Amino acid sequence: MATVIDGKAVAAEVIETVKNASQTLQTETGVTPGIAVVIVGEDPASQVYVASKGRKARECGFHSVEHTLPESTSEADLLRLVEDLNNDPSIHGILVQLPLPSHIDESLVIQKISPEKDVDGFHVINTGKLTVGDIDEAFVSCTPAGSMLLIERVRGGDLSGLNAIVIGRSNIVGKPMASLLLAANATVTVGHSRTPDLPAACRNADIVVAAVGRPEMVKKDWIKPGATIIDVGINRIPAPERGEGKTRLVGDVAYEECSEVAGAITPVPGGVGPMTIAMLMANTVVSAYRAAG
């Protein structure tokens, strides 16, 4: 049976390091790391994420502000708020929660965030730095950065000689994940909905990162024995066995059956999820150190 990769425990270690770094920065320079989280509209999942980001920021000793704007907010007003936050010296990290309402151009808003405060790592300056291998200079998108940390725990930092597949090609996870794996010398395949034989491509992989948002899509017979599986998916599905109307969370990987062949696997929940917020806090404290010189 596969080793279960405990994302909660690794995330707690990261948070401990961030807390200490934040404390040291305050003592030595008087600078308190500051993060601003902006949410537009009433998407319930986004509200949960934003609340937990605020909680974690306060736990790290950060100055944390939340801007909750109505669904009807204009693009121009949102751009003005981002501009104000760019110019606010008490703020080192700006996060605009996605998705935004359809009348707002997401890309325009993201590119408005100062790259120095883009702790989500979504700005083209940061994705560009990552793509050219300037990883220490870039803010790296938090979910891939957290996934990479978990991979390093299992396989070490140098992945030379290993095949990796990233299933999914989103700008937030799939593409930056592929860049990180490549920078670690893995041989990387990016699979997606138009890949002719995804199971066959997956069976070649020593490392599988699933980020497609399809419940339990990756099956046991896709997995090379001993492979490391990182499951980024968080899908809520009906669970009638728990009672009428009940649901449960599953990943993009059929966890039970894949555990029988994999070497190591992240659970859902408790795998990649906690790492995302931890890496956001890490990026914010790094940004505050840079601002403090």
Write out the H or E segment, with its range, that includes residue 248. Answer: strand 247-250
Contact pick of 57, 64, 93, 120 for ligand GUN (by CB under 6 A): 120
Distances in Å between the alpha carbon of 46 and those of 35, 50, 53, 70?
17, 6, 10, 13
One of 53, 56, 175, 224 is an active-site residue; which one?
53
Burial of 289 (0-12, 13-18, 19+ CB in 10 A): middle
Other CB atoms within a 10 A radius of the CB of residue 62 amount to 23
Active site annotation includes 134: no
- In this structure, are residues 213 and 193 in contact, taking their beta carbons and an 8 Å threshold? no
One of 97, 117, 175, 252 is an active-site residue; which one?
97
The CA distance from 109 to 105, in Å, is 7
Contact pick of 73, 97, 127, 228 for ligand GUN (by CB under 6 A): 97
Please give the residues from 8 up to 37 whose contact with ligand GUN meets the rule CB under 6 A.
none
Rounded least distance, CB 46 to ligand GUN, Å: 7
Which residue stretch of 89-97, 144-152, 194-202, 254-262 sits at the interface with ligand GUN (rule: CB under 6 A)? 89-97
User: Based on CB atoms, which residue is closest to ligand GUN, 110 or 202?
Assistant: 110
The CA distance from 51 to 32, in Å, is 20
User: Based on CB atoms, which residue is closest to ligand GUN, 49 or 255?
Assistant: 49
The CA distance from 100 to 51, in Å, is 17
Active site annotation includes 56: no
Which residue stretch of 93-101, 156-164, 188-196, 234-242 sits at the interface with ligand GUN (rule: CB under 6 A)? 93-101
Cis peptide upstream of residue 196 (ω within 30 degrees of 0): no
DSSP string of 152-202, one letter each residue: HHHH-S--TT-EEEEE---TTTHHHHHHHHHHTT-EEEEE-TT-TTHHHHH
One of 118, 120, 231, 252 is an active-site residue; which one?
120
Write out the H or E segment, with its range, that includes residue 11. Answer: helix 7-29
User: Based on CB atoms, which residue is closest to ligand GUN, 115 or 257?
Assistant: 115
- In this structure, are residues 292 and 122 in contact, taking their beta carbons and an 8 Å threshold? no
The SS3 call for residue 204 is coil
The mark string for 272-291 relative to ligand GUN (x by CB under 6 A, - otherwise) is ----x---------------
Q: How many chain residues are in contact with ligand GUN, going by CB under 6 A?
A: 7
Which amino acids are annotated as binding site for NADP(+), given as ranges? 168-170, 234
User: Based on CB atoms, which residue is closest to ligand GUN, 32 or 52?
Assistant: 52
User: Based on CB atoms, which residue is closest to ligand GUN, 163 or 266?
Assistant: 266
What tokens were used for 58? 């306060």
The answer to whether 98 contacts ligand GUN (rule: CB under 6 A) is: yes
Please give the residues from 135 up to 164 whose contact with ligand GUN meets the rule CB under 6 A.
142
**Residue where the block lists tokens 């859902």:** 268
Active site annotation includes 97: yes
User: Based on CB atoms, which residue is closest to ligand GUN, 142 or 265?
Assistant: 142
Rounded least distance, CB 279 to ligand GUN, Å: 9
**Residue where the block lists tokens 């998705």:** 99
Residues that bind ligand GUN in the complex, under the rule CB under 6 A? 95-98, 120, 142, 276
- Catalytic residue annotation: 53, 97, 120
